[in-house]
Structure 1
Amino acid sequence: MIIEQYGWNEEWKSKWTEMLKPLDSARELVPGRISGDFGSKYRVITGSGEMWGELSGKLRHSLAGSGDYPSVGDWVALSVQDGGAHGVIHAVLPRRSVISRKVPGPNQEEQIVASNVDTLFLVSALNDDFNVRRMERYLIMAWNSGANPVILLTKADLCTDADAKIAEMERTAPGVPVHAVSAVQGEGREALLPYLGSGQTVALTGSSGCGKSTMVNWLSGRELQLTQEVREGDSRGRHTTTHRELFALPDGGIIIDTPGMRELQLWEDDGGLELAFGEISTLAAGCRFSDCSHTREEGCAVLAALASGELEEKRLLSYRKTQKELQYQNSKEAKQKRKTMAAASKSKPPRAKGGSWQQVLEEY
C-alpha cells in the first residue's frame, strides 16, 4: 500500500523526523494515518497495509481526562506486532488542523471530530433540513478548526426554489464558497474537484440525515457508506453513519465521513465567531467605542446599519445569542481547568494539546 495516497508528504516526513530523531526507539516505529475510530480501537493505514491499532498504556494514561485522544485523520507513530496484523500507537504527530466540538451533555470535555483536514464541507440539504442559523454554528466550528469551510447544499433535485436558498446562504456566509449538488441527478461534482485533488483531505459534517454518506458514495464512485431513503414526514434522511471513517478518492484526495450531529455545542472560540459574522465585525470597526456591545451605545455603527436596513435583525440577534453562549462556555471551561490544575498539582501536570508525544516517546 502506498501511504502517499493517504496524504503522507514532505511536510509530514519533516514532522516525523523532528519528533523521532533524538530517540533510539525511532527505528522500531512506523508512521500511519488513522482511517477509522471505533472507540477503544482504531483502523490505521501504514506503508505495509491496513491494521488494527490501540493506544499504548503510557499514551492512554498521559491523555486520560484531556479528551485529546487520537482521531480520524491523525498521523501516528506505532509499533507493528503480530506480523503486521496489529499495531500499538505510541504518539500522535502535531496536528495541522483540529475540528472539534463540546461533547453532548453537561460534561465540559472536547470531542475531536477529525484532524489534519484541508477543507471542511458543511453539508445542508435543500429541503426541510435547510437552516441558515444552524449553518452559522457550523461556520464558527470550521473557522476555529484551521480548515477552510465550504458549504455543500445537497438534494438540489428535491428543491423548487434552490436559487433563492443558495442566495440566502451566500448572504449568511460572505466569502465562503457555496455549491448546490444533486447526487441523484449527478449535478455539481465538477465544481468540487478542486477540493479533492491529490494529497488533499476533506471532511463532511452536518446534521443527521443531510446526505453526507450519499456524498461520500457519489464522490468516490463506490458504495462505501450505507444510505437510507428520505422520510416522507419531514424530508430528512435517516442517520446511518455511526463512526468517523476516512476513504481514499479516485481523484487522489481523502474524504472523511462523520456521524450526523443532532446538536452542535461549540467548544471554544479562536476567532471563529468574528469570521462567521464577518459583516458585523467590519461594521464594528466603525463604532465610537472599542468595547461597544452593539446594544444601545451612541455611535454604534452596527445599530446604525440595523436601522438603515443594511444589517438584518435576525443576523444580529443570532450573533448576540452565539456570543453569549461562547462566553458562558468559556467561563465553564475556565472553571473546569482550575479544577483540573488543582487535581494535577497533587499528581502529574496535564499535557498541552498536541504536545504529549515527546515525553511519551522518551518513556517508550
Structure 2
Amino acid sequence: MHAPDDVLTRLRAIGWPDDDAARQALAAAGGECLARVVAQHRSGYDVLPGPGEPVRRVQPPPAWTRPRFPPEQRAAVGDWVTLDGGGRDIVALLPRRSVLKRAAAGEHYRQQLIAANVDHVLVVVGLDQDFNPRRIERYLVVVRASGAAPVLVLTKADQCPVLDDCLALLEEVQAGGVPIHAVNAKDAESLRVLHPYLGPGRTVVLVGSSGAGKSTLTNTLLGVEKMKTGTVREHDSRGRHTTTFRLLTPLPQGGCIIDTPGMRELKLSGDEDVTDSFEDIEAIAAGCRFRDCSHGNEPGCAVQEAIAGGRLDAERFASYAKLRDERDAAATSLAQRRAEERVLSRALNKRLKDKYGRR
C-alpha cells in the first residue's frame, strides 16, 4: 500500500522523511489521521496535521497519564502520532527514528525527553563567556546517543576577536567528524551554511545555554520575530529563559526546527557511549600495557604517558573520565529502575489475575 502523493507532500512539509522505514510506517497507519507533536503541555499536546493547518489541542491516551507510565513511552515534541476520527485524542505513537533525552534533575533517576525524530541536533554555543569546550563535549556525548547527528553552531562570531583561538580548542571535536559553523545568528546570509540541514523532510533541534542565541537564530531563519529573545548579562554572558517550552516550527527552507529552553544542567541518562566522543583517547588507550587499565597509576599506561608528553590535554582526559564515571553510575540506576518496574508490573498482573481470573 502506498500513500497518495498529496499526503506525502503534506507530511514532508512538517518533517516527514522519505525513506523505506517512513513509507512502511505510513502504510501501516492506513487511513488514520497523522499529525506531528509541536508542543507539550500539562493538560495535553498541540499537534499539527499539515502545513498551513491550525494547530490542534489533543488529549493523550489514558495510560500516559498514569504516574508509573514510563516517560520515554509518552509523546515528545517532534513525535508522530495517529488521532481518532474526531481528531481530538491521540490513539498511538509511531516508531521513532531518533530521540534526544537526558536524566532529569534530582537524585532519583528519571529520563526526560527533549525531542524526537530529529535528523540533526544543533548545539548552539555563544563565542563569549558561554564558550566552554568541556560542556561542548558533554553535549556531544548526549547527542550521539540520540540517533541524530551533532552539529556545533558557534554564535556571536561577529563579536569574537579570538575566533581562531576558539576553533583551535575544538580540533578534536572537528577531527571526530562534527561540523562546526561560526555564525552571526542575526544575519540571514551568515546562516546559509545551515540550510543543508533544513530541507524538506528534515528536522533539527536547537540545544544550548540560555543566552547562546537559539531563539535569535530561529527568528532569523523564519524571517519573522516569532520567538521571544532577551539580552545577556555582561559579567557572565548568562541569559534569561526567554524560551520556556519546546516548540516545533516549520521553516521557509522546507524543514522544521525545534527551539528549546536553555539547559543549566545536562545529566547523562545511562544509555550513552562516552567513547564515541573521545576516539582520540580510546586510540591512545589501546597502547596501555593492561587491557583493563583505568588510566590512573598503573604501569605502562599510554594515556598518562601521552599527558606527560603533551600529546593529550589533561583537561580533556579529566572530562572523559568524569563523563565515563557519570555514565556508569547512571547506567546502574537505569538498570535498577527497569528491574523495579518489571517487578511492579508482574505484581500488578498477578493481582489482576487473582481478582478477575485469566482472560
Partner of 1:40: 43
- Which of 205, 218, 221 is matched with 1:203 structurally? 205
Partner of 2:271: 269
Alignment of 1:326-345 (within 5 A): 326-345=327-346
Aligned length: 337
Alignment partner of 1:74 is 2:79: yes
Shift of 1:244: 0.6
Alpha-carbon displacement from aligned partner over 1:154-192 (angstroms, at most 9, x marks no partner): 112232211211221233453211111112355631211
Partner of 2:59: 54
SS of residue paired to 1:229: coil
Give the distance between the partners of 2:304 and 2:271, measured in 1 at CA. 24
Whether contact under 8 Å (2:172, 2:280) holds in the other structure is no
Partner of 1:251: 253
Partner of 2:321: 320
Partner of 2:101: 100
Q: What TM-score, normalized by structure 1, do the two folds share?
A: 0.86
Whether contact under 8 Å (1:157, 1:184) holds in the other structure is no
Identity level (%):
42
Give the distance between the partners of 2:109 and 2:42, measured in 1 at CA. 19
Alignment of 1:1-364 (within 5 A): 2-11=10-19, 12-18=22-28, 20=29, 27=31, 29-47=32-50, 49-61=54-66, 64-81=69-86, 87-174=88-175, 175-186=177-188, 188-271=190-273, 273-348=274-349
SS of residue paired to 2:294: coil
Amino acid corresponding to residue 325 of structure 2 in structure 1: K
Give the distance between the partners of 2:173 and 2:231, measured in 1 at CA. 29
Range with greater deviation from structure 2 (29-38 or 134-143): 29-38
Range with greater deviation from structure 2 (243-252 or 171-180): 171-180
Alpha-carbon displacement from aligned partner over 1:51-94 (angstroms, at most 9, x marks no partner): 1112121454597144431011101111142xxxx521111111
Alpha-carbon displacement from aligned partner over 1:218-238 (angstroms, at most 9, x marks no partner): 112121200012223322332
Alpha-carbon displacement from aligned partner over 1:109-128 (angstroms, at most 9, x marks no partner): 10110001101001110011
Structure 1: give runs of 5+ residues left out of the alignment: 21-25, 350-364
Give the distance between the partners of 2:99 and 2:178, measured in 1 at CA. 19
Amino acid corresponding to residue 129 of structure 1 in structure 2: D
SS of residue paired to 1:135: helix
Alpha-carbon displacement from aligned partner over 1:195-234 (angstroms, at most 9, x marks no partner): 1112111110011221111111111212120001222332
Q: What TM-score, normalized by structure 2, do the two folds share?
A: 0.87
Give the distance between the partners of 1:171 and 1:149, measured in 2 at CA. 14
Give the distance between the partners of 1:348 and 1:101, measured in 2 at CA. 30
Give the distance between the partners of 1:197 and 1:113, measured in 2 at CA. 22
Alpha-carbon displacement from aligned partner over 1:276-333 (angstroms, at most 9, x marks no partner): 1121112222323322212123332222221221101111111111111111112222
Amino acid corresponding to residue 8 of structure 1 in structure 2: W
Whether contact under 8 Å (2:109, 2:337) holds in the other structure is yes
Partner of 1:357: none
Range with greater deviation from structure 2 (183-192 or 149-158): 183-192
Judging changes above 3 Å, is the alpha-carbon distance between structure 1 residues 224 and 280 closer, same or farther for their aligned structure 2 residues? same
SS of residue paired to 2:169: helix
Give the distance between the partners of 1:212 and 1:302, measured in 2 at CA. 37
Whether contact under 8 Å (1:79, 1:89) holds in the other structure is yes
Amino acid corresponding to residue 226 of structure 1 in structure 2: K
Give the distance between the partners of 1:263 and 1:140, measured in 2 at CA. 14
Give the distance between the partners of 2:103 and 2:280, measured in 1 at CA. 26
SS of residue paired to 1:347: helix
Range with greater deviation from structure 2 (300-309 or 316-325): 300-309
Higher RCO (C-alpha 8 Å, min separation 6): 1
Give the distance between the partners of 1:348 and 1:102, measured in 2 at CA. 29
SS of residue paired to 1:309: coil
Structure 2: give runs of 5+ residues left out of the alignment: 1-8, 351-359
